[in-house]
Amino acid sequence: MVICVDKDIILLSEKDILYRNATQKLLDTIAHMKLEPTEKDTAVHLTQMFRSAFQSPDVKKATLGPDIQEIGDTSIFRYDSEGFCRASSIAFANIINDKSNNWQVRYIDELWTFGPHHYLYHKPSKTVLNLTFDQFVVDGIQQIPYDMGRVVPDKYKNDVMAQRFIKAIKNHQANKE
């Protein structure tokens, strides 16, 4: 795919196109959830901000580095959203649930061949918002067994990885400005 931006030509790889399409799919899901305007705006903002941050090697190192020995080389992650499911889901719920308690973090354990995996569930609309679903699509996995998911206990609200993720995003945003 070729995109022209102010007379510059940008070539996008298949992964870039998949990533953009996945981000748009998440935004479309939010648009169809019939959220109150403030909650919708927050969900859109967080989704866009998190998806942008997933593409930063610095955010990946800061978020996941202390937990993974090989993080000095981010090439162990083959796709931008890979590895961020827990941190981003918990961070999203912590931020958006400040005003409501509509969102749950859910978890599919290791019984699933590709688990563990964390994602969001919006209780009023009964809608899954999986910020990192595309890490599976890139490997050809089209069905994620959300019916295997269970609610993550509240004790994980103070998850260290989610806190590192938020701090890394703040640094990432500051460096973009």
pTM for the predicted model, two decimal places: 0.84
pLDDT, position 43:
96
Comparing 5 with 139, which gets the higher pLDDT? 139
Taking 50 as the threshold, does the pLDDT of residue 5 lie above it? Answer: no
Residues 18, 2: Cα–Cα separation, whole Å: 14
Average predicted confidence (pLDDT) for the chain: 82
- Alpha-carbon distance of 125 to 174, in angstroms, equals 34
How sure is the predictor about 121, in pLDDT bands with cuts at 50, 70 and 90?
very high
Cis peptide before 145 (omega within 30 of 0): no
Paired tokens of 62: 């800061």
Confidence of residue 75 (pLDDT cuts 50, 70, 90): low
Quickly state the pLDDT bin for 68 (edges 50, 70, 90): low
